[in-house]
Amino acid sequence: MADPKTVLVTGVSSGIGREVAALFGQKGYRVFGTSRQPERCPEIPEVALLPLDVRSDQSVTECIRAVTQEAGGVDILVNNAGYLILGALEECSDTDAVLQFQTNFFGAFRMVNAVLPGMRERGYGRIVNISSGAADFAMPFEGLYSASKAALNLYTEGLRQELKHTGISASVVQPGFILTSIRENRAAASMNMPAYSIPKDRFEKAYSRYLEKGGNPEKVARTVLRIARAGSPRFRYRVGYDSRLLELRRFLPDWLVQRLVRLYFGID
Ligand SMILES: NC(=O)c1ccc[n+]([C@@H]2O[C@H](COP(=O)([O-])OP(=O)(O)OC[C@H]3O[C@@H](n4cnc5c(N)ncnc54)[C@H](OP(=O)(O)O)[C@@H]3O)[C@@H](O)[C@H]2O)c1
């Protein structure tokens, strides 16, 4: 690549972020990847590791400063860092809710605001927010996660409208189930109420089954690369048949969607 673009991928210690960073590294991009504990993060060829906690303004500022000093700025930002909280909404404290949004929503928001001035100056930028199929319906027992991803989708759509004609695009990637460490890395809701234990247990078993049969994170990485290479990237990219199936939602009444979700997760 004559003039390699600089890519910053958040959360490369495992799963999707790791595959995205590795693929861009292989393709000759200049890649920076982040982790809250880069010293514990396995090395990825051609990827420079930086510390970053997206919940912290200071950490975000320092990360962007480091990339700007090294490479002049961020051309492609991939907001991948995220996690989920398992628990009924009633079992979640307000702190659980704040923390979930601090990472999945405000984390991306902070990163975008930190890179936009440089992108605007150069008249070029690609913002890729890793959302989820779960943004299109409320996952039972992962309701905060769905809410945070739905917020991320609308935020990205707003950004895209406001950045039209600036050379900067904003897109969401909505993967279905992808086999990563997301289950091991998740948090539990603050409370555990006996009233929810049976349906939550059923949900958990179905969820684990779907995840084990989930797609390869490399599929998501290839989609992010397509966005980076596209002349004018679309707003939404779905990955996996389960995510694509959610397109049908707009043709179905809400009660039917909710019934199908309960059947799918075996909680009725
Ligand atoms: N797996 C799926 O089925 C699936 C489906 C749809 C969407 N997604 C989305 O894809 C993204 C990646 O998930 P994954 O499945 O690859 O899970 P994962 O293997 O658990 O990876 C999550 C990454 O996020 C980073 N992270 C978490 N909290 C962070 C914070 N506060 N600050 C900075 N980094 C943080 C972690 O890095 P450190 O712990 O090293 O900091 C880790 O590298 C998430 O946004 C997730 O919601 C996943």
Residues 6+ apart with CB under 8 A from 208: 183
Provide the CB-side half-sphere exposure for 91 (13 A, CA): 20
Pocket test for ligand 1, best of 129, 136, 180, 186 (most atoms within 8 A of CB): 180
Instruction: Please provide the DSSP assignment of 132-163 as one string.
Output: -GGGSS--TTBHHHHHHHHHHHHHHHHHHHHT
Q: What is the pLDDT of residue 268?
A: 86
Once rounded to an integer, what is the mean pLDDT over residues 119-146? 98
Q: Has 56 been annotated as catalytic?
A: no
Q: Which atom of ligand 1 is nearest to the CA of 184?
A: 20
> Nearest-CA neighbor of 60 among 108, 4, 126?
108
Write out the two tokens for 120.
């605007």
Position 203 in a domain: yes
Closest C-alpha among 109, 66, 80 to residue 13: 80
- 125-130, strands of its sheet edge to edge: 47-51, 30-35, 6-9, 76-79, 125-130, 168-175, 236-239
Domain-located, residue 213: yes
* Contact present, 30 and 196 (Cβ < 8 Å): no
Q: What pLDDT does 3 receive?
A: 66
Q: With respect to residue 1, please indicate whether it lies within any of the assigned structural domains.
A: no
Q: 50 lies in which domain range?
A: 6-264
> Active site residue: 5, 29, 132, 145, which one?
145
| pLDDT for the residue numbered 66 | 98
pLDDT tens for each residue of 194-213: 999 999 999 999 999 999 99
Per the structure, the count of domains in the chain is 1
User: Does the annotation count 13 as an active-site position?
Assistant: yes
Q: What is the CATH number of the domain that holds 30?
A: 3.40.50.720
- Return the amino acid letter for 176: G
The verdict on whether 205 is a catalytic residue reads no
Alpha helices for the chain (secondary structure H): 15-26, 57-71, 94-104, 106-122, 143-162, 197-212, 217-229, 241-245, 254-264
Residue-wise pLDDT tens digits, 49-84: 999 999 999 999 999 999 999 999 999 999 999 999
Closest residue by Cα to atom 7, ligand 1, is: 132
Share of the chain above pLDDT 90, in %: 98
pLDDT digits (tens, 9 = 90+) for 20-42: 999 999 999 999 999 999 999 99
pLDDT above 80: residue 1: no
Confirm whether 157 is domain-assigned. yes
